[in-house]
Structures are given as C-alpha cells and as structure tokens.
Chain A
Amino acid sequence: MDITRAKIRDLRKALDSKQISAAELCGEYFKNIEAGDGKVQSFITVTKEKALEMAENAQKRIDSGDVSPLTGIPLAIKDNICTDGIKTTCASKMLENFIPPYNATVIEKLNAEGYVLLGKTSMDEFAMGGSTQTSAFAKTKNPYDLERVPGGSSGGSAAAVSASFAPAALGSDTGGSIRQPASFCGVTGIKPTYGRVSRYGLVAFASSLDQIGPICSDARDCAVMLNAICAHDPHDATSSRQPVPDFTEKLGQSVSGMKIAMPKEFYSDDIDDEVKTHVMNAAKTLEAQGAKLVECSIPGLKYAIPAYYLIACAEAASNLSRFDGIKYGFRGEGRTFEELIRDSRSKGFGEEVKRRILLGNYALSSGYYDAYYKKALALKQQIIKEYNAVFDLADVILTPTAPTPAYKIGAQDNDPVKMYLADICTVTVNIASLPGISTTCGYTAEGLPVGMSVIGRRFDEQTILQCADAFEQTFAPTAPAKL
C-alpha cells in the first residue's frame, strides 16, 4: 500500500475493509520513519513497541466492528503534549527525562478513539520559535529541502506529515506554530478557536494564546481530527462550552457568495513577491467559484508583534518558573536553594527560552507593567475590535501564512527581532482568539511550498475548513521526493 500523503479517510477504508491491518499500517509508517527520519529528524521519541501494542488493540476493535474515525490510525504528537508513561521533553534539556504520570485531555480523547501513537515530534524548545532549530534534541529539516527549516514551533509534526512519516499529527499554536510549519512543509494545519480544544496536559507557553490543533494532508482530514479532539473539558477552565458541530458538515459546499476579506496590511512590501502572487492567485481561484473578494484594513497589524511578544513572554516567564530543578527535570548544583534554582535554569534552558523569560519578567516588573504589559492588553483589545469590524463585512479573511517560504537553516540565527517579525501574518489570529487554517496554494520556482491562511470568526472553523477545502479541490499538491 502506498502511504505517500495518505488521507485518514482512505486509511479508514483500508482498515475497515481489511485491506491492511492496523499493525501493518503503522509498520508502513515506521518503514518511512526508519528510512527518512535520520535526515529529517522530525521525531524526538519513536514509540514503536507501544505503537504495535496500540495497533493490536485497535485491530480488535476493528474486528469487532467497534470503530471510531481514528481507530487504528497512526498519529504523531508534538512533544509538548503530555503522554502518560512516555517522555515529554518540550525539546528542552530541562525536561530531557520527564515522563508525565498523566495524559493530556487530547491524548485521552485520541485513546478513546483507538489511535496509534507513532512517536513524539520535535519542536522549538518550549514552542518558542519558528524554525525548530532551538530544539535541544532534533533540529528538524524541511522535507522539500533538507538545508531549509521546516518552520516551527511544530516543525517536527509538520515535517513528519509532509514526509509521510505519519498521516496526521498534533501540534500546538501560540503565534502561528501550527500554520507556519504547515505552510513551510506543504501540508494543512488548523489552529482552532481559543477554547475549542482542552489545553490540559499541553505544557504551557502562553496560556491565553496556546491552542492544540492538527496538521494533516488536507482540510478534510483536519476536520476529522477536530471532530475527535474538540470538546469542553472540566479540567481546563478556559475550554469553551460552545456546542461542538460536525466539522466535516460544510466540506464540499460551494463557496459561491462567501465574502473573503484581504486586509491590505497583509499584502505589503514586507511580504515576498512570490508568496503574494500565489496567495492572490488562490483568491482568484476562489473568486472564480463565486466567492466575493472584499478589500479591507487591519491597521493594528503594525502593533501586533510587540503586543504579541509582550503578552506571550510575560505569560511564559511565569509558566516556565516551575522548572526550578526542585521537583522534576534538570537539576543543577548549588549550596542554597537560590543557587540550585539559578544553576538549574541557567543550564537547563536554551538561549531563546531564556531571552523570552527575561523579556517577560521585565515587562511584568513593577514600574514597567503599565508601560508594557498593560499596553499590550490594550492593543489586544484594539486588534479584536478591528477583526470584528472586518467580520462585519466578510465571512473569512485570506492572508499569506508567512512572509517568505522556508528559509535556509541558520539564516535568522543572529537576529531574534527579524525572526519575531516573521510571525506577522499569524500572531493576530491568536491575539484575537480566532480560528485559522493554512493550506498550500503553490510552489516557488525552487519548488518550496507557499501557504495561505484562511481566518474565521470565533468558533466558525466550519467555514474556514469549507473555504480551504474548496481551494484544495482545485489544487494538486506535490509531495517531497521520497527520502
């Protein structure tokens, strides 16, 4: 069976018709992983033994006809999502040997479906970054060009799906960490509305922005994954009680009459020409299907990066305080507990994480709080207002997912500010708690994927899935060469 960019729904059919067993299916993926992941380095931990055990249990369910959409489907999970009994490192030396004694709620939900865990994927350390090069264990490469970054922070998940090491994966998105790597790796990733998916068991980066979501071959598979993981969770007070629809419901419906806004700030000179051209062409494709393109403006975009980094770093500084070498994780040395904590954190965290902790603590310090953190919260309100105004005129917003296609490894290493600015197209979606999906809309002359993002109203994942799917139906993606 050829599993190159196989769809979950096709695997479902193959499993249910006994064309392949669950164990054979995950074996196929392990074959690809063993052949190619030495080069791509998308996994931190591969759980082969566990996978076979899970596949056998799934097979029993399939044989007895007790099948859920993900029964026997192999998946990769980002390594900041806690898995009971399986190392969850956040790609940090700090948690190198941390084995959680509990599952994240999303893992419980996938277990209930009978999924098969292939392994834990690499990421930027504690999800801080857009290149997966800050990972302490696996600096993932882009399957389309091994000299380029896969994006990040969910670069391992995106690369794994891109390289057909897994049909789908879970990532997390705080400022674009699902959508941007999906775009760099030529796959489809959705960040659901804040509150759609429980954050319980997701190691927190910025609690008010973090959201778990799937990275798949296409929007249809994303809908299947969302159906499995979205629900109110009593263990997460920020999880929403909004009714959860069937996310596949609007797939295949025509976009005729759908109003698609293209805020001019997202098409400025800061965006690579090739990227802009592909996204505009995609807009024309949708227009040809009857969608209406709407011009609009989100002037607050110019404040998005400072606002985002202030909020995210402030929350991160506090969230990451618990890694003190006292209870679990990396422990340094010291005669007093102050020394022990200082040494553990100095040696356990990488440079980017430390930079953000310092930035966040600075922003929260007495005397600076009003000037920085409070102002950032005001900007957040402003950005929400501007998005609301756009959604008065349009059903969805179409933007590039990133200003450039995947760049060369090391290209942005010495300029953190430049790296932060590269998040310009994605962060406002998190700031405004909106759902956003990135799908491939073309390839550059060099053969690198270009992603476009469809952003929707809060809790309206259905419409952005419908829109992304409508485009995908007209577009033939090219998988990277087999590794």
Chain B
Amino acid sequence: MSAYFPTIGLETHAELSTNSKVFCTCSAEFGGTPNSRCCPVCSGLPGTLPVLNRKAVEYIIKAGYVMNCDISRFTKWDRKNYFYPDLPKAYQISQMPRPVCLAGKVKINVKGEEKEIRINRIHLEEDAGKLVHDDVNRISLADYNRCGVPLIEIVTEPDFHSADEVVAYLEKIMLLLQYAGICDCKMEQGSIRCDVNISIAPKGSNELGTRTELKNLNSLKAIAKAIEVEIERQEELLDNGERVIQQTRRFNEALGETTAMRSKEDAHDYRYFPDPDIPPIILTEEELDEIRSSIPELPEQRVARYVEQCGIKKQDADLIVSDKKICDFYEEAIQAYDNPKAVANYVTGELLRRKNLGEVDMDDLKFSGREFAQLVEFLQTDKISQSNAKAILGEMIANGGTPKDIADAQDLWIKEDSDLLAKTVDEIIANNPKAAEQYRSGDQKVFGFFMGQANKALKGLASPKAIQEYIKKKLSE
C-alpha cells in the first residue's frame, strides 16, 4: 500500500467538427495534402484579419451545456504570444479571462461508484499547424492545414485520484462530445488530446505536492500507463528524500517512462492581451435557448429510453450506447423494424461479438442498419434459421448486399417442405431406436439430441418450430 495520495487535473483539447476553420473559411477536415487547406488568413499573411466562425461558438456553448457549465453572456478572445514555426502568426487566438464556459461538472462511474468531476472552464481557441521532420535531409517542414481548426480546451479541477478515474472521465466526455455532435473524438488523429497535471502528497496531508504536467499522450492506454509510471516516479523521489520539480514531461510509450521536456524556469511568458481584431461577443438568452434546444439526445437519455420504452436490459443498453457508431446503427435498425429487443439482442450478441473479434469495422460497414433489421426480422419470423442468419451476416460483412438477395442467391430460406422434413426425421428416429425408446419412456432430455440431429441434417431448410412439432408427433406415436 502506497503512503501517498495522487491528485490529478486534466486539460483536454477537442477539435470541433465544424466544416470550416474558426477564423477563416478554409475546410477544417483532418489531413489533406500539406498546405492545401490554408489561405492568407490562417497562414498568417500580413494584413489579413480573423473573422469568428459563429458555428464554433455554438459548438462550444453546446459543450458547456452537456458538461453542465455556466455560459458567459459576455465573452472575448485574447492573444497568446509565442514563437514556434507551426504557429504562423506567432500568437494563438485563445481566451484568457472571459472563456465561454465556466464551472461545470461531469458525472463518472468508476467500478460501480459514481463520482462528480468539476470543470473549471472551457474556452475556444485555434489549433496550430504541424511540423514534419525529415531526418534524412535534416530539414523540418511546416504543414498549416490544421492551423485555425477550432479547438476547445476543457480544464478540470484537480478532482482525480487514480488513472481509472481519468480514463472513466475521458470516456464519458468523449461520448458526450460525440453524441452532441461537437467532436468526433478520434484520439489517433489528434482530434482529442489530453495533458495531465499530476502531484502526490502523503496520505492524510491537506496540501498538494509539486505537480508535473504530462504531454504527448495519444491513447487512453497511454494516459493510464503514463499516470501510473509518473506516480511511481514521484513516489520514488519522495521516498529517497528528493523533491519533485515542477516541469513538463513527455511520455515515451515505447520505453514506458516519462522524461523532462522543460522546467518552470523555461516557461513562456505568453503576454496575453485582448485581441483587438475580434470584438467581444454578447450572447442573448434567445440565442442560448436555441442552441440548448438543438442539442441532440445524450447518452444517458438514450440508455433511459431503451430501458424504459424498449424494454431492453440496462446492461445491453449501456453496451449499445457506449459506442456512438453502434448506437446510431441500432437507431436506424429499429426505425426499419420495430422490435427493439430482438434487434438489441442481435446487435449485442452477434454484431458486437464480431466487432470485438475484429471482423467488423464500423467505419467501413458495407451494409446499413435497415438491412441488418431485415435480417433480424427474417430470423424472428422464422424465414431463416439461426445458423443461416449468421452465414448471411458474414456475407453482408464481407461483401455487402441485402439479406434477401443473399438468401435468394444461396437458397437459405426455410422451406415448409413437409415431405423433406418427414423423410429426414423419420430416418433419424429409425437410426436411433434406443434414444427414441428412452424418450418414450419419459426421458425428455433426449429430445434435444433429436432436435440437434434434425437441424444439422436439414441445414436450416425447416423452421425450428416445424421440426419440433414433427419430432414430438413422431415420438408420441
């Protein structure tokens, strides 16, 4: 048991999913040929001026609402001045004293326990570009495509005390941001990024220790690992009678260790001051009401609806909602086939199973929720058998196509062919006289054996119900 108690605060940057950048009309899409998505404004040419994209303001207000923040009625932008080759104006337009959102809270659930994380503030700023280092030719090149992509920075209070809590919080806000349509939260593309401030103090102490800031964290796994190793590092320092130095540290995932980037002494003086190019904005109650009412259904509301109105198990509802792509797919399916329970069962039982095995890529799905719904409907109405349904789904995943076309092409329909059924079952009973005798003498258990044999022989060409009835009838004779 450690003698120390860690305290952690997060600064999370999320890129907004607006079509255009925050201060010009360039596309804000990820990637692209270097410097193909920039203009005189976002590449900082002399004389150009920023014009605020009101859509970005709308998005950050939504973020504020989904994280239960106070929305400032008066908000303004400041310049954060520093030199770096990926920052063409040599200042970042950000917000210092008057951010759009203040004082929020987010509920998280860690191992069954509920906890509230306080949000200090959320502000709107512009992203910087990217440097590409060519080690062979020993040159660095700047790509400004990302310059001016709208970014929100969500700053928490130091309310976390373990890596698990941090991960639970990040998972929660990513879901919220995705469901509200604010950010796609693709950590691997950097559309959501996280800096971790971390300190430890002896248990029972009322004071916080000296903190370090961890940067360069690209996945939830890396974040959890980085927190663990940094806590260990700080504990070791204190155990050896040394001091933690306030500094920024980079996490090296390959080596599983954090290394110093710069100390407090090298910290920039950003010389913040109000940006004279962007007038402050005043938000009216009408505007805010309109924005608030345009927020789509959030994860918790969806779970509640599935449980209360659709009769789905809470556990399954949580599972579906935990992945927005799956959940949207599910929504589409139940629009097409009004049997939410059956669809939910097939989504959690079959689709998610295959997704977890890596067979299904939700970003590159070859069929729609509507087509999936058709498959479930065929299954529910005894038009195809369980095993053939699985085969059809496999085909849909591999090559696409509708369940009907696949069943037609491969002849996978259940046929109410009583002759074939009678002939097959009669043969099975004739070949297993001992088992038939057992059943007739009251041993119901062997019934399953006959069902299995018949299913196997009929290859899904008869419905389970018809098989069952015929076997019962035959064995009772």
- A residues apposed to B, CB below 8 Å: 80-82, 88, 90, 95, 98, 100-102, 104, 199-204, 206-208, 234-238, 314-315, 317-318, 321-324, 326-328, 337-338, 341, 361, 364-366, 369, 373
Whose C-beta in chain A lies nearest to the C-beta of B89?
A322
List of A residues within 8 angstroms of B49 by Cβ: 199-200, 235-238
Cα of A13 to Cα of B91 in the assembled complex, Å: 50
Say whether, besides A90-B46, A337-B85, A208 and B142 are in contact (CB < 8 Å): no
Distance between B34 CB and nearest chain A CB, rounded to angstroms = 14
Say whether, besides A322-B89, A324-B90, A364-B273, A203 and B46 are in contact (CB < 8 Å): yes
Cα of A130 to Cα of B79 in the assembled complex, Å: 28
List of B residues within 8 angstroms of A327 by Cβ: 43-45, 88, 142
Say whether, besides A237-B278, A321-B83, A321-B91, A101 and B40 are in contact (CB < 8 Å): yes
User: Which residue of B46, B85, B271, B276 has the most chain A CB atoms within 10 A of its CB atom?
Assistant: B46
The answer to whether the Cβ of B296 comes within 8 Å of any Cβ in the partner chain is no
List of B residues within 8 angstroms of A341 by Cβ: 83
Contact B40 A102 (CB under 8 A): yes
Taking A90-B46, A323-B46, A327-B43 as given, write out 20 further A-B residue pairs in contact, using a Cβ cutoff of 8 Å, ordered by the A residue number: A81-B47, A88-B47, A102-B40, A102-B48, A200-B49, A201-B48, A204-B47, A208-B276, A237-B50, A237-B51, A237-B278, A317-B271, A322-B44, A322-B90, A324-B85, A324-B90, A326-B88, A338-B83, A341-B83, A361-B271
Cα of A421 to Cα of B88 in the assembled complex, Å: 34
The answer to whether the Cβ of B116 comes within 8 Å of any Cβ in the partner chain is no
List of B residues within 8 angstroms of A204 by Cβ: 46-47, 277
- Partner of B271 from the list A98, A201, A318 (CB cut-off 8 Å) is A318
Cα of A201 to Cα of B47 in the assembled complex, Å: 4
List of A residues within 8 angstroms of B278 by Cβ: 237
Whose C-beta in chain B lies nearest to the C-beta of A98?
B46
DSSP majority for the A interface? Answer: loop
Contact A364 B81 (CB under 8 A): yes
List of A residues within 8 angstroms of B79 by Cβ: 318
Cα of A77 to Cα of B315 in the assembled complex, Å: 71
Say whether, besides A201-B48, A321-B90, A366-B271, A238 and B279 are in contact (CB < 8 Å): yes
Whose C-beta in chain B lies nearest to the C-beta of A367?
B269
Whose C-beta in chain A lies nearest to the C-beta of B84?
A337
Cα of A235 to Cα of B48 in the assembled complex, Å: 8
**What are 27 inter-chain pairs, A to B, with CB distance below 8 A?**
A82-B46, A88-B47, A102-B45, A203-B46, A207-B276, A207-B277, A236-B49, A237-B278, A237-B279, A238-B49, A238-B277, A314-B273, A315-B273, A317-B81, A317-B271, A318-B90, A322-B44, A322-B88, A323-B46, A324-B83, A324-B85, A326-B88, A327-B88, A338-B83, A361-B271, A364-B272, A365-B269
Cα of A419 to Cα of B28 in the assembled complex, Å: 47
Cα of A321 to Cα of B40 in the assembled complex, Å: 16
List of A residues within 8 angstroms of B84 by Cβ: 337
Whose C-beta in chain A lies nearest to the C-beta of B268?
A366
Cα of A456 to Cα of B278 in the assembled complex, Å: 25
Cα of A337 to Cα of B90 in the assembled complex, Å: 13
Cα of A328 to Cα of B48 in the assembled complex, Å: 14
Cα of A365 to Cα of B89 in the assembled complex, Å: 19
Whose C-beta in chain A lies nearest to the C-beta of B41?
A235
Distance between B144 CB and nearest chain A CB, rounded to angstroms = 9
Say whether, besides A318-B91, A321-B90, A200 and B273 are in contact (CB < 8 Å): no
Contact B271 A200 (CB under 8 A): no
Whose C-beta in chain A lies nearest to the C-beta of B83?
A341
Contact A202 B47 (CB under 8 A): yes
List of B residues within 8 angstroms of A90 by Cβ: 46
Distance between B90 CB and nearest chain A CB, rounded to angstroms = 3
Cα of A90 to Cα of B45 in the assembled complex, Å: 13
The answer to whether the Cβ of B103 comes within 8 Å of any Cβ in the partner chain is no
Whose C-beta in chain A lies nearest to the C-beta of B24?
A235
- The 6 A-B residue pairs with the shortest CB-CB distance, nearest first, are A321-B90, A208-B276, A364-B271, A207-B276, A203-B46, A201-B47
List of A residues within 8 angstroms of B47 by Cβ: 80-82, 88, 100, 104, 200-204
The answer to whether the Cβ of B288 comes within 8 Å of any Cβ in the partner chain is no
Please count how many residues in chain B sit with their CB below 8 Å of the partner chain's CB atoms: 30
User: Which residue of B51, B84, B273, B279 has the most chain A CB atoms within 10 A of its CB atom?
Assistant: B273
List of A residues within 8 angstroms of B44 by Cβ: 322, 327
List of A residues within 8 angstroms of B360 by Cβ: none
The answer to whether the Cβ of B187 comes within 8 Å of any Cβ in the partner chain is no
Contact B85 A200 (CB under 8 A): no
Cα of A100 to Cα of B48 in the assembled complex, Å: 10
List of B residues within 8 angstroms of A326 by Cβ: 85, 88, 142
List of A residues within 8 angstroms of B170 by Cβ: none
List of A residues within 8 angstroms of B106 by Cβ: none
The answer to whether the Cβ of B52 comes within 8 Å of any Cβ in the partner chain is yes
Cα of A98 to Cα of B46 in the assembled complex, Å: 10
User: Which residue of A90, A199, A326, A369 has the most chain B CB atoms within 10 A of its CB atom?
Assistant: A326
Distance between A362 CB and nearest chain B CB, rounded to angstroms = 10
Residue-wise, chain B 78-114 has the 8 Å CB interface mask toward A (1 for contact) of 0101011100111100000000000000000000000
Cα of A407 to Cα of B89 in the assembled complex, Å: 37
Distance between B111 CB and nearest chain A CB, rounded to angstroms = 43
List of A residues within 8 angstroms of B272 by Cβ: 364, 369
- Partner of A235 from the list B45, B51, B88 (CB cut-off 8 Å) is B51
Cα of A397 to Cα of B44 in the assembled complex, Å: 39
Within B349-381, the residues touching A (CB, 8 Å) are none
Whose C-beta in chain B lies nearest to the C-beta of A95?
B46
Whose C-beta in chain B lies nearest to the C-beta of A206?
B276
Cα of A318 to Cα of B270 in the assembled complex, Å: 10
Distance between A14 CB and nearest chain B CB, rounded to angstroms = 34
Contact B48 A200 (CB under 8 A): yes
Say whether, besides A314-B273, A369-B273, A321 and B279 are in contact (CB < 8 Å): no
Distance between B77 CB and nearest chain A CB, rounded to angstroms = 10
Cα of A318 to Cα of B142 in the assembled complex, Å: 21
Cα of A398 to Cα of B183 in the assembled complex, Å: 56
Within B1-52, the residues touching A (CB, 8 Å) are 40, 43-52
Contact B45 A100 (CB under 8 A): yes
Cα of A338 to Cα of B90 in the assembled complex, Å: 12
Residue-wise, chain B 258-270 has the 8 Å CB interface mask toward A (1 for contact) of 0000000000010
- Partner of B276 from the list A81, A234, A315, A322 (CB cut-off 8 Å) is A315
Distance between A234 CB and nearest chain B CB, rounded to angstroms = 7
List of B residues within 8 angstroms of A328 by Cβ: 45
Cα of A237 to Cα of B48 in the assembled complex, Å: 11
Distance between A274 CB and nearest chain B CB, rounded to angstroms = 38
Contact B51 A318 (CB under 8 A): no
Whose C-beta in chain B lies nearest to the C-beta of A94?
B46
Contact A100 B271 (CB under 8 A): no
Cα of A90 to Cα of B46 in the assembled complex, Å: 10
Distance between B314 CB and nearest chain A CB, rounded to angstroms = 49
Contact B46 A322 (CB under 8 A): yes
Distance between A380 CB and nearest chain B CB, rounded to angstroms = 12
Cα of A81 to Cα of B47 in the assembled complex, Å: 8
Distance between A339 CB and nearest chain B CB, rounded to angstroms = 11
List of A residues within 8 angstroms of B91 by Cβ: 318, 321
Distance between A242 CB and nearest chain B CB, rounded to angstroms = 14
Whose C-beta in chain B lies nearest to the C-beta of A337?
B85
Contact A238 B271 (CB under 8 A): no
Cα of A324 to Cα of B278 in the assembled complex, Å: 23
Whose C-beta in chain B lies nearest to the C-beta of A364?
B271
List of A residues within 8 angstroms of B46 by Cβ: 82, 88, 90, 95, 98, 100, 203-204, 322-323
Whose C-beta in chain A lies nearest to the C-beta of B80?
A318
List of A residues within 8 angstroms of B48 by Cβ: 102, 200-201
User: Which residue of A235, A236, A318, A364 has the most chain B CB atoms within 10 A of its CB atom?
Assistant: A318
Cα of A315 to Cα of B278 in the assembled complex, Å: 13
